[in-house]
Amino acid sequence: MDFQDTAIRIPHSRPTLGPEERRAVDEVLRSGQVAMGPEVAAFEREMARAVGVEHAVATGSGTAALAFALAGLSAGPGTEVIVPAYVCPAVANAVLWAGATPVPADVDPETGCMDMEDAMARKTDKTRAVVAVHLFGRPVDPAAYKALSVPVVEDCAQAVGAVVNNRPVGSLSHAAVFSFYATKMLCTGEGGMVLTPDETVARKARAMRESDVPPSPEGRYNAKMTDVAAAMGRAQLRKLPGFVEARRRLAHDFGRAFSGLDAAILPDAPGHVFYRFVLKVPGDADEAVARIQARGASAELPVPEPLHMALGLPDYPGARSCRKHFVSIPIYPSLSRRETKAVVKAVKEALG
């Protein structure tokens, strides 16, 4: 089938679900215990074991997980949290949910990761934490963020399964947060988790995800995960090594196919899980996206509105450059060989 001649569009993201998830959810439905219960507890134990961290607290979303982790580290009213400017709005929303002020730091225009010099310059005596984002599944070393001398929260929303210095991401900081949104590395529909070696952080997150308990000034929210979602998550977690392998294989194939193009492939790093495959185009990313879309594959801007724009702050040259030149193309384990070929063809024609 010629994708150019049809309305068929290869989606930019898609969950990879199969009979294992259906069976697991079906069992939960048959049990009648569908709210938070033993499946959530088991998913927490399994994630804690996979990442190698003592405490795990499942939540209704990654945003809630980040808000609760920050609150657990006392990043609340009157404090500031340094975040990368080139990231989705959920990160700033989580900081605001915790009651703190998000302070974006500029990013490296080649990777989209935080520019530590700029972050240092933005540190004040109100800075209470820094968020280290493993952007697009490419791990960063949280040790670099420790130079700020405040607690580091790893945002692993895009990077479950990634490894840095032979250790899983999420095991290298004061607290780590994960997202299991429909199109993330692991899918529970909506969902998130806090992983931490710090018992106080875990206790606070457990308290904050409840609401049918006596009120408390730190906030009580109904932000729990359901057993239905956790059953999916457990089935997905068992498939994680295969998912990572499939993404790496696709990234390798794309890398070879696009080597002659003007567009640059974002720098690789050991332990990368390729949640996104991102190209840096010499021209305008919006135009490149439109040209790829016109050829049947759904390309997207990975971050359509960096935080400095969303928050109405002055120019951030690194984040502006990423916004202008980064283009993300479909990469996920359920991308078929036929679809992969069609994506390669669309990108080569559009950018060649």
Q: Which residues bind ligand PLP (CB under 6 A)?
A: 61-63, 66, 87-88, 90-91, 133, 155, 157-158, 179, 181, 192
Closest contact distance (angstroms) between CB of 71 and ligand PLP is 15
Measure the CA–CA gap between 192 and 93, rounded to whole angstroms. 15
Nearer to ligand PLP, 80 or 155 (CB): 155
Closest contact distance (angstroms) between CB of 90 and ligand PLP is 4
Closest contact distance (angstroms) between CB of 128 and ligand PLP is 18
Measure the CA–CA gap between 82 and 155, rounded to whole angstroms. 13
Pairing of strands 163-164, 167-168: antiparallel
Question: Is 83 in contact with 106 (CB distance < 8 Å)?
Answer: no
Nearer to ligand PLP, 132 or 346 (CB): 132
Closest contact distance (angstroms) between CB of 335 and ligand PLP is 20
Measure the CA–CA gap between 161 and 167, rounded to whole angstroms. 10
Nearer to ligand PLP, 62 or 318 (CB): 62
At what angle are helices 227-257 and 337-351 packed, to 10 degrees? 50
Pairing of strands 175-179, 152-155: parallel
- Residue nearest ligand PLP by beta-carbon distance: 62
Give the bridge partners for 297, in sequence order: 10
Nearer to ligand PLP, 155 or 300 (CB): 155
Closest contact distance (angstroms) between CB of 181 and ligand PLP is 4
Nearer to ligand PLP, 53 or 159 (CB): 159
Pairing of strands 163-164, 152-155: unpaired
Residue 316, token pair as written in the block: 């951030």
